[in-house]
Amino acid sequence: MTENRISPLGTSSRNAWAGWGAAVLISGSLVTLISLPPFVGEQAAWMIRQGFAVVCHQLPDRSPSVAGVHLAVCHRCVGLYGGAFLACLGLLILVRWDHQFRSHALLLLAIASLPLLIDWGGDWLGLWANTPSSRIATGGVAGVAIGYFAGRALVGVPAFKPTQPPSNKIPEPT
């Protein structure tokens, strides 16, 4: 009976809640893994960093540290992952504007990435030096946008229903 009620996620399926839970669990687990190296042994910290080395440069002067031990990713990636986690948590609120977000998805992703590109580009061109705070903040802005659409995709996947029911009718030869 509860399966037919509309959830705050905009679907009528209990599976939408499972998708939301998966989005929060996955993004939260990534943020937790990123934060673990200062609190685990050297071998575990090395393994975690190796896992993230595929997606992050992990330069020591551009990576946050706790008690002299660097996290698994750089400042900008901390913002990206943290923003994605916050977006997944806030999906229940953000979904109110889902139609507008989805109809302008590429534009929103481009706009959210613009501060990141400006901050990086200004530093690369020598116009200014970006800071750990600017890297985390600009990564966070992009992370919120990416996290919203990734989380929304997980919510929508289990609730997907084809627009037309499958037909058992065999097509007539032409």
- Please indicate, yes or no, if residue 135 is contained in any of the structural domains: yes
Q: Is the pLDDT of residue 48 over 80?
A: yes
- Please indicate, yes or no, if residue 112 is contained in any of the structural domains: yes
For residue 17, the model assigns a pLDDT of 83
- Please indicate, yes or no, if residue 68 is contained in any of the structural domains: yes
* CA atoms of 126 and 65, how far apart (whole Å): 26
- Please indicate, yes or no, if residue 5 is contained in any of the structural domains: no
pTM listed for this prediction: 0.81
- Please indicate, yes or no, if residue 134 is contained in any of the structural domains: yes
Write the pLDDT tens digit of every residue in 77-87: 999 999 999 99
Tokens of 65: 């540290």
Write the pLDDT tens digit of every residue in 107-133: 999 999 999 999 999 999 999 999 999
Three-class SS state of 70: strand
- Please indicate, yes or no, if residue 100 is contained in any of the structural domains: yes
Dihedral sign for Cα 81, 86, 92, 95, please.
negative
Write the pLDDT tens digit of every residue in 23-40: 999 999 999 999 999 999
For residue 97, the model assigns a pLDDT of 87
Count how many domains the chain has: 1
- Please indicate, yes or no, if residue 20 is contained in any of the structural domains: yes
Identify the domain containing residue 138 by its residue range. 12-156
- Please indicate, yes or no, if residue 169 is contained in any of the structural domains: no
